[in-house]
Structure 1
């Protein structure tokens, strides 16, 4: 699958993968701070952003997408960073293709299984009738019945696009709704990645806990774990300066 991506900067390559319901644009502001030292590749994963849509959607195919992308771009070995779902993708990739990963950064996700917890988001997105809404405000008003936090609604509605016939979803909402269980899958047992690995976690997030450290040590024995103060799950949006500082320090 030929993934959509943005490329900027100069230096050693650093690939960044977004999380569920997101896109490459989510990490653009972080990338601008790093572009003087690295060549950034911001990728839309399948069924997100401007990348192709498919009924196949799991970490095995997303890791294979990343391998195909690197081959097409002539990237033998890179720095990899992924947030949430993107973090699970890069972890799976590192286990499968360790020779292609120089250093690994995983943002606010652990190797373990996560139960489905996006029901209200999916209900809200599916409640928006794209055939009848006339404005983004109407979409937001409908979504607000399910999600009270304006910031989360604004993030989700970044995936609401337009074509000649009206509004469209850039995410593959039917497939994501059907296969949402795949997002929470644990890493397959038995493998490990011995290269340098940084886990960045939001101190206010429930996604990475002290109880996850044993799993992290098992799969990624050469790891560092840093908790970002005053940050939740979207740590790159809430504390961008702290994230950039930790990324620079680790990659240096």
Structure 2
């Protein structure tokens, strides 16, 4: 670790995590103290026939505006092929999990670690897509991670880089806020408003999975104010290259039609994860949805190696 890098000493209890951050940058010693209270994430579990619920599980983290339900079909297939428990989580402010601030990768990683510990999971394989991929990488690099808990890391179409999210993500927030303000009564009405912001029907259908259709008017389940404010943090990453490394088995799966993993940030990924390999699929950013069979095979073969 370089003299300019930031080191972290952590105390953990079941009630809270207290993180002391020491920085020697620019020869200035500073001590920051933040308290992060992990939340209990909602989840779905596919149970193998052998009754094992804790050892060698696959834990899945969705992307921005996603939820555990998006992974139901793949989770069942993973469980059948691997004969291991498969947990699909709702990250904070998504799906059925609590709505709470802050919203950044440090706290998401803390939530996921709390889930693993509270469910007594061991020898975990962790899979994350997009935002969930960054949360998974943040956990793998975290000094809070107990040695030996994480066995495999699989990252779907995202890199551990820092930068602004594309403007389309903020426009999705505005579109959903407009739908809420319009007090729409049908999914068709919501589609009509959303089509002015997004032309791709697959993306519109994905965003509208967050629409609660159980009451009238229809409203989004997710906290649009919290997510809108968090957009800058979701383009960030908690660590600088060279600051932390995780030497465990790591697989990156890139969509060849996507620019989230590219020639500029791939060397950064290798700095953080020196034991990584890269696979590609002829797909866009949603590699697991566009090429589910091929994606399934990559992940299963990697875990079984």
TM-score (norm 2): 0.79
The separation in 1 between residues aligned to 2:104 and 2:205, in whole angstroms, is 26
Offset at residue 98 of structure 1 (A): 5.8
Q: Give the structure with higher Rg (CA).
A: 2
Q: Does 1:80 align with 2:80?
A: no
Show the counterpart of 1:44.
90
Offset at residue 130 of structure 1 (A): 5.1
Give matches, 1:93-172, under 5 Å: 93-96=139-142, 97=145, 99=147, 100-117=149-166, 118-129=169-180, 132-164=183-215, 166-172=217-223
TM-score (norm 1): 0.95
SS of structure 2 residue aligned to 1:129: helix
Give matches, 1:32-71, under 5 Å: 32-36=76-80, 37=82, 38-71=84-117
Q: Which deviations, in whole Å up to 9, do the C-alpha atoms of 1:36-63 show, x marking residues without a partner?
A: 2221000000000000101211111111
Structure 1: runs of 5+ lacking an equivalent: none
**CA contact under 8 A between 1:112 and 1:187: conserved in structure 2?**
no
Q: How many residues align?
A: 251
Decide whether aligned partners of structure 1 residues 77 and 66 sit closer, same or farther in structure 2, where only a CA change above 3 A counts.
Answer: same
The separation in 1 between residues aligned to 2:105 and 2:119, in whole angstroms, is 21
Question: Which deviates more, 128-137 or 210-219?
Answer: 128-137
Show the counterpart of 2:294.
242
**CA contact under 8 A between 1:128 and 1:142: conserved in structure 2?**
yes
SS of structure 2 residue aligned to 1:179: helix
**CA contact under 8 A between 1:53 and 1:172: conserved in structure 2?**
yes
**CA contact under 8 A between 1:131 and 1:167: conserved in structure 2?**
no
The separation in 2 between residues aligned to 1:204 and 1:153, in whole angstroms, is 19
Relative contact order higher in (CA < 8 Å, ≥ 6 apart)? 1
Q: List 4+ stretches of structure 1 deviating above 6 A.
A: none
Q: Which deviations, in whole Å up to 9, do the C-alpha atoms of 1:95-147 show, x marking residues without a partner?
A: 11162211100000001113121132122112113562111111111111111
SS of structure 1 residue aligned to 2:227: helix
SS of structure 1 residue aligned to 2:57: strand
Higher normalized helix content (fraction of residues): 1
Offset at residue 164 of structure 1 (A): 4.9
